[in-house]
Amino acid sequence: MVLTAAPTALWVVPVAELGGVARHVLDVAAVGVPGYRVVVVCPTGPLADRLRALGTAVTTAPVGPEHGVRESVAAVRHAVRALGPAVVHSHLSWADVVAAAATVGTGAALVTTEHGIADDDLVYHGAAWRSRAKALLHAARLRRADAVIAVSHATERSIRRKWHPAAGLPVAVVPNGVDRPDEPTPRSPGLHVCSIARLAPEKRLDALLDAVSVLRGSHPDVRLTVAGTGPEEDALRRRAGTLGLDDVTTFVGHVEPAPLLATADVLVQLSVWENCSYSLLDALVHGVGVVATAVGGNPEVLPSAALAPHDDPGAVAQAVARQGLDPALRPTLPETWPTRVDTAARIAQVYAGVLGERG
């Protein structure tokens, strides 16, 4: 009996630190993509360390914006030639463009997962001319792709509207999978509010502080924990002081979500855009209430009662109070939401479709 080695899927991930995309990579690596050997090429750092601890094959290389296009393309091309993958699977905009260039003439199938495309380009690009240039670039590199994975239906719509993929290019919706606990988490009423997000303008944490200020007027026992790091930290600390929230607000930096969610009552996320937020999914799994804006993929996860406008602090405060004080009103993860194994299996189906078409 001759055993055939599993084909290799080379994942190109241009981040070293732990964040949303790193979480996706780690979750899929932990359960494995059935029928494929996953190898990750990424920069040296915590993500590579975590992957090795899981037993995942990792090759560290200068891949990312800080290394420049030429060096990143050379690093990915070297990995492709050394490993001979059947599939090269890129994650995040930088890797998408780099992988499209690095795989020319290699024979590898090219798959891309879109994690961070926003309906409004200015969320990430900041200027109209830059947005137009990026859209043209992504439309061009998609001509080399064999399949695209979108993490939500909202993401898929944005891809089609902005990048105009060819009619024959498969675009599959594969949400981030999460595992449900064996037993539901018992929760009690409370008003410990939390945020788990990058401290950046698009996350609208200033609006969260405004809502907590309103809520404190009727519920002086409210507490707020702000988890995450980013350029807005100093400004947010000042705003908390201006609103008189210093004594109820704690900035804790980067933390693992599970311990914080084990003590929190409601997570608030008033972002400009979200594709498939792990923070929301984790909150639902932990029995924590959720109040979020009706943007991107959020309505695919949450009922309308959990959605609130960012510019109405009173409405946000009321939604927080309802869920905080009555755990029965907190939303739960949709029954049909995929587990980590489900997500990995769907990725394998995308690979099989691409390789099957190639014969």
pLDDT tier, 140 (very low <50, low <70, confident <90, very high otherwise): confident
What percentage of the chain has pLDDT greater than the value 90? 84
What confidence tier does 196 reach under pLDDT thresholds 50, 70, 90?
very high
Residues 248/176, Cβ–Cβ less than 8 Å = no
Mean local confidence (pLDDT), 158-167: 91
Task: Categorize the per-residue pLDDT at 117 as very low, low, confident or very high, splitting at 50, 70 and 90.
Answer: confident
Q: How many angstroms separate the CA atoms of 276 and 271, rounded?
A: 12
What integer pLDDT is reported at residue 119 of this predicted model? 65
Half-sphere exposure for 13 (CA within 13 Å, toward CB):
32
Label residue 126 by pLDDT band (50, 70, 90).
Answer: low
**CA pair distance 175, 4, nearest whole angstrom:** 31
Amino acid letter for position 23: R
Percent of the chain topping pLDDT 70: 94
In whole angstroms, what is the distance from residue 312 CA to residue 81 CA?
Answer: 54
pLDDT per residue over 198-224, tens digit each?
999 999 999 999 999 999 999 999 999
CB 288 within 8 A of CB 330: yes
Question: Any residues with CB less than 8 A from the CB of 328 and at least 6 apart, and which?
Answer: none
Position 221 scores a pLDDT of 96
Q: Are 206 and 174 in contact (CB under 8 A)?
A: no
Which residues on neighbouring strands pair with residue 11, listed in sequence order? 40, 89
pLDDT in tens, 230-250: 999 999 999 999 999 999 999
* Amino acid at site 293: T
Of 356 and 39, the structure prediction assigns the larger pLDDT to 39
Instruction: Check residue 182 and report its DSSP letter.
Output: S
Task: Give tens-digit pLDDT for 329-344.
Answer: 999 999 999 999 999 9
For the cut 70, the answer to whether the pLDDT of residue 129 exceeds it is: no
Q: Which long-range contacts (CB under 8 A, 24 or more apart) does 125-133 make?
A: none
Residue 327 reports pLDDT greater than 90: yes
- Give pLDDT, residue 4: 58
The answer, yes or no, to whether residue 325 has pLDDT greater than 70, is: yes
How far is CA 183 from its chain centroid?
Answer: 26
Task: List Cβ neighbours of 351 (8 Å cut-off, separation of 6 or more).
Answer: 7, 9, 33, 35, 36, 86, 87, 109, 111
State the chain's mean pLDDT as an integer.
92
Adjacent-strand bridge partners of 173: 150
Domains of the chain: residue spans and CATH = 8-177+338-358 (3.40.50.2000), 192-329 (3.40.50.2000)
